[in-house]
Structure 1
Amino acid sequence: MTGVGAAHAQADFFSRDTISGLVDLRLVAAGGETSWVDGAVGKARFGEGHQGLRLGEAALVWNPRFSDTVSAVVVGESQDGQRHLVDLGEGYLAYRSRPGASLRLSARAGVFYPPISLEHDGLDWSVPDTITPSAINTWVAEETKVVGVEATIRRTIAGQSFSLTAGGFKNGDTSGTELTFRGWALHDLKSPVFGRFPLPPLSAKMATRQAPSTTPLAEIDGRIGYYGRIEWRPSSRLAFDLFRYDNEGDRISVDSRIEWSWETRFWNLGMRLDLDAVAVKGQVMTGETLMGYSNALGLWADMGFEAAYVSATKALGPGSATVRYDHFSTTDRTNKATDNNAEHGWSALAAYRWDVRPNAQIVFEALYIDSFRRDRARLGLSPAQEQTVLQTAFRRQF
């Protein structure tokens, strides 16, 4: 009877330990370009016309446990300006082997973000130290969520930790659409499972070939993509990881909304260093995204992309201070005379997180973005734009 009772005690579906949530209210002062959220080409979540009090996010997380090794995660979230008032953020089953084994295994299946971001480690895949993630992880949140399966094995040898992750997925066919037609961005919105993101006004060449919005989790060509990740931790203070992603898109499949299957692949290198006083993070990403048929000038869309950031966070008073520098660019390799999507830019961020209580924070953030995008001239704008966004987030977890 003792064994049976212990087995039942391990299952927990509806208790205070399985339900958690987050409310993020935002006070905003922004200038510069009209935001991409409003169908323009501004790179921040807030721009011209976005002032005052806003809803940053509200989320409810259900984490039932079926046993001491099997659990689930279901996230319902609401973000200001999205197509649905409430949408699904993530939903997956997870397995983790019992601790103590020399070779540890974990796996998950469902809807989730691949393990790319070093910044999103808070509740509901949020960024705890700042409000706005880097350009790399802004795009990860927009266009790399998948419906798939993933497995990870971990082993510690001579005090050093190694892990290997492999994943297969579908519903990632439109990855690259935002990055091509709008370019890099810096904001904290995440892709909704049943929602869409707007695109800026398309060129005359693409207006009849591409829908005016993109569905991040569309499945169009029926192919299976893949990703892999290796991580090396030589000590408890230092970690490196290398990530490879390929959605295996066929480039020419199209659905009834005129959304296409893009062929998108990239490498990402990450580094974390925890010193006594400062935690340093950095990522470098390089890749390409292609779409459409080939003509005398090349493919309809053929673009290379690169980005990198480094950030430092230091405990300071009743909280922590963070500074970050971003650099980003895209290289248009086709049809540049009529549809040039090349850009380059940089960004600087400074933030302070005040831990009012263990489950309540106030985050102050200043974000500056300087970018040059030739396609702005087509819209009657200067290719060079600067933007400053000041935000205060009032966060409460429960």
Structure 2
Amino acid sequence: MAKFIILLLFSPVILSAEQSLNGIIDSRFVAVSDDQESYLNGGYGKFSYDSNAQLALAQLGLQYSAQWENNISVHVIGNAFSDGSYNGIGLTEVFLSYKGLPSEGGWRLKSKAGVFYPKISLENIATAWSTPYTLTSSSLNNWIGEELRHTGFELSLNKLGKFSNSQHNFNLDLAFFKNNDTAGALLSWHGWTIGSRQTLLNEKLIVQPFAARETALSAQAGKSDPFLELDNRWGRHLAGSWQYRTLQFSVGIYDNNADPSIVKAGQYTWDTNFLHFGFKYKLNKQTQLISQYMNGSTFMQSPYGNKVVDNDFSNGYIMLSHFWNEHQIAMRAEEFNVTDLDSTWGDNNQEYGKGLSLSYRYKLNKRSFIQTELNWLQSKRPSRWYLKQEINLTEHQFQVAFRHYFNL
């Protein structure tokens, strides 16, 4: 499907469409105060940057859309990043979508097909899946950006209240997807993390070192491929939302429906399911409260049916955002947990952590911003012992960024 959409972009058909190109440039100075190697580089640090101070291109995002008169549109989103030691460029979403006209009663059908994010995040709502509130995503949404993407199709049913003089709006989405069989591997082996990096569709990510990779998990490849199909099964994601005036609730259930006993070329299938809830409430025109919670499980087996890795997990955050004139502040508190239920020696995935983030943004003009952020994160992870590191760790990160949103 993704290849078909890319070929479509270079065909004469695209010339008859209404086209747009939006983007974001996010460059930063980053300082991490504690001597920890980032999880992206194979360490057990919870931030996406290592402990040294550095300049980084956190995101160069491009979002292309073309829409035809028949309400069909194509969307291609790409991202690039560079921090001096870890660089990447590629696509993060590619899909076709259809948006039907509402009926007299306010009912409307929508659909999409291709590679796209599941409808979960209430933070990452800006260009190229960036967040307008903070420089980092919460650990809940950082995991979504790292390991979750739908390759398949989604059907949506909307009920628009304004057609019946109602202030209630409803939305129901049902997605069927493939290429998410390894989801849960990175969450298990490096735990919850905070950052703004989105995994590219062509990217593989480092698996942390631990003793079981020399024994029971010796078949595991050194890098995990997050968007891989191994068992030819369809996963499903059902999500719904209700909006009343300035209050919005969302709920969903995710199941990748994987056969957890398969391993091919060092990549294991993981059976991953979770429930997610969220709400967004505008207290007034300037102040907004956002919260999300997730609870689920992930496991994988040996070919003989034994659970080699078996984890339950949970995560929740609450964020308050307030703006006035050219100023905006956002405060976010979060708590996360992984419970290790298996008895595999040398693979302790137990984890508990909590964090606070404080962000301030100054608006230079309509499209340009200076933003600073301070992150504090405390976590207990026994697997750090494998590298002779402290199990309990408190980490601090400070960032100053220049962000520019543009239209071409």
TM-score (norm 1): 0.92
Per-residue CA shift, 1:144-170, capped at 9, x if unaligned? 112110011111454211111000000
What amino acid is aligned across from residue 139 of structure 2 in structure 1?
A: A
Q: Quick check: 1:226 aligned with 2:236?
A: yes
Q: How many angstroms does 1:364 deviate by? A: 0.7
Aligned residues of 1:84 and 1:195 also touching (Cα < 8 A): no
Q: How does 1:1-398 map to 2 (within 5 A)?
A: 13=15, 18-32=20-34, 33-49=36-52, 51-67=53-69, 69-80=71-82, 85-99=88-102, 101=104, 102-156=106-160, 158-203=166-211, 204-233=214-243, 235-256=244-265, 258-276=266-284, 277-293=286-302, 299-335=307-343, 337-398=345-406
In structure 1, distance between residues paired with 2:404 and 2:15:
23
Q: How many angstroms does 1:88 deviate by? A: 0.8
Matching residue of 2:9: none
Q: How many angstroms does 1:304 deviate by? A: 0.2
In structure 2, distance between residues paired with 1:83 and 1:195:
12
Q: How many angstroms does 1:52 deviate by? A: 2.3
3-state SS of paired residue (1:88): strand
Q: How many angstroms does 1:338 deviate by? A: 3.0
Aligned residues of 1:47 and 1:389 also touching (Cα < 8 A): no
In structure 2, distance between residues paired with 1:329 and 1:177:
15
Q: How many angstroms does 1:84 deviate by? A: 6.7
Classify 1:13/1:40 alpha carbon distance in 2 versus 1 (closer, same or farther; 3 Å). farther
Classify 1:380/1:131 alpha carbon distance in 2 versus 1 (closer, same or farther; 3 Å). same
Aligned residues of 1:180 and 1:341 also touching (Cα < 8 A): yes
3-state SS of paired residue (1:79): strand
Aligned residues of 1:308 and 1:326 also touching (Cα < 8 A): yes
Classify 1:58/1:293 alpha carbon distance in 2 versus 1 (closer, same or farther; 3 Å). same
3-state SS of paired residue (1:221): coil
TM-score (norm 2): 0.90
Q: How many angstroms does 1:14 deviate by? A: 8.8
In structure 1, distance between residues paired with 2:299 and 2:355:
26
Classify 1:206/1:146 alpha carbon distance in 2 versus 1 (closer, same or farther; 3 Å). farther
3-state SS of paired residue (1:63): strand
Q: How many angstroms does 1:227 deviate by? A: 0.3
In structure 2, distance between residues paired with 1:206 and 1:358:
55
Identity of counterpart residues, as a percentage?
A: 28
Per-residue CA shift, 1:258-306, capped at 9, x if unaligned? 011110000000111111142000011000001122879x511000000
Which runs of 5 or more residues in structure 2 are unaligned? 1-12
3-state SS of paired residue (1:86): strand
Q: How many angstroms does 1:47 deviate by? A: 2.6
Aligned residues of 1:202 and 1:212 also touching (Cα < 8 A): no
Which runs of 5 or more residues in structure 1 are unaligned? 1-10
Classify 1:15/1:85 alpha carbon distance in 2 versus 1 (closer, same or farther; 3 Å). farther
In structure 2, distance between residues paired with 1:16 and 1:58:
23
What amino acid is aligned across from residue 61 of structure 2 in structure 1?
A: A
3-state SS of paired residue (1:18): strand
Aligned residues of 2:298 and 2:310 also touching (Cα < 8 A): yes
In structure 1, distance between residues paired with 2:216 and 2:235:
26
Aligned residues of 1:83 and 1:196 also touching (Cα < 8 A): no
3-state SS of paired residue (1:173): coil
Per-residue CA shift, 1:218-269, capped at 9, x if unaligned? 1111111000011111x2210111110000010112222x011110000000
What amino acid is aligned across from residue 394 of structure 1 in structure 2?
A: F
Aligned residues of 2:16 and 2:68 also touching (Cα < 8 A): no
- Of the structure 1 ranges 155-164 and 77-86, higher mean CA displacement relative to structure 2 is found in 77-86
Question: Once superposed, what is the RMSD of the aligned Cα atoms?
Answer: 2.0
Classify 1:13/1:182 alpha carbon distance in 2 versus 1 (closer, same or farther; 3 Å). farther
Aligned residues of 2:210 and 2:386 also touching (Cα < 8 A): no
In structure 1, distance between residues paired with 2:322 and 2:168:
26
Per-residue CA shift, 1:44-91, capped at 9, x if unaligned? 011323x12111011222111122511111012212269874211111
What amino acid is aligned across from residue 216 of structure 1 in structure 2?
A: P
In structure 1, distance between residues paired with 2:27 and 2:91:
20
